[in-house]
Amino acid sequence: MNETEQLLEQVADRVRNSAQGRGTPLPKPLADGEIARAEGILGFALPPLLAKLYTRVGDGGFGPEYGLLPLRQVIERHEARRASGWRWPEGVLPMADFGCGMDACVDCRSETAQVLLFDPNPGEPDLAWYVDSPGLADWLRGWLDGSAWFCDESGLGEEFDLEPVPWAEFRSRI
């Protein structure tokens, strides 16, 4: 079993265990054809790991914060963000709702599927984009093992005043 397969199995196990605890079923996985249809609408391919999450684990509802968005909502949010007053970078897809208007996004042009944090709250496009994780696999591992910043319920992140790293590629991608 390769590293990606192990990660998918760990995510699926966590999702199954948390669904049993909640007593509410998660959306069923999508068919491969639904991924291809979504990619046709978007005009670019989903990172392979993200596509496998949707086709092997479920159509959203699991993961950090409010969880991955169902693929239909990913497309709707992507289109809404691009139509809004915000300059939305090409190839970047919102994938998870972090509340307060913030989204965890995946850079579909990045070989590692870099995860970005979009935070419109400062009100300035140049200040809205941060690197959350060098890759989607790392982001998922941080969620699984509790080491990611969004898993910190101790408040230590605020105590140490951790500064997010701005996404340097923002200007070149709009």
Q: How many CB atoms lie within 10 A of CB 162?
A: 11
Residue 12 banded pLDDT, cuts 50, 70, 90? very high
- Tokens 């196990």 correspond to 13
- Please state the length of the chain: 174
CA distance 91 to 110: 9
Instruction: pLDDT band for 94, please (50, 70, 90 cuts).
Output: very high
State in words which class domain 3-146+166-173 has. Answer: alpha beta
Look at residue 74 and tell me whether its pLDDT is greater than 90: yes
Nearest in space to 11 (alpha carbons), one of 52, 48, 45, 47: 52
Percent of the chain whose predicted confidence (pLDDT) is above 90: 57
CA atoms within 13 A on the CB side of 69: 20
Phi/psi at 92 (5° precision): -105, 130
Specify the pairing of strand 102-107 against strand 165-166. Answer: unpaired
Q: Let me know: does 11 contact 62? Beta carbons within 8 Å.
A: yes
* pLDDT given for residue 23 in this prediction: 62
The stretch 54-65 carries a mean pLDDT of: 92
Could you tell me the strand order of the sheet in which 129-133 lies? 92-99, 102-107, 115-118, 129-133, 165-166
CA distance from start to end of the chain: 39
Q: What is the 3-state secondary structure (H, E, C) of 87-121?
A: CCCCCEEEEEEEECCEEEEEECCCCCCCEEEECCC
- The pLDDT, as a whole number, for residue 151 is 73
Task: List alpha helices for the chain, DSSP H.
Answer: 3-22, 32-42, 48-52, 71-83, 136-145, 156-159, 170-173
For residue 20, pLDDT over 60 is answered with: no
Q: What are the boundaries of each domain within the chain? A: 3-146+166-173
Neighbours of 74 (CB within 10 A): 25
Looking at residue 21, its pLDDT comes to 53
Q: What is the pTM of this model?
A: 0.88
**The two three-digit tokens of residue 127, written as one number:** 């200040």
pLDDT in tens, 113-169: 999 999 988 777 778 899 999 999 999 999 999 887 877 554 444 444 457 789 989
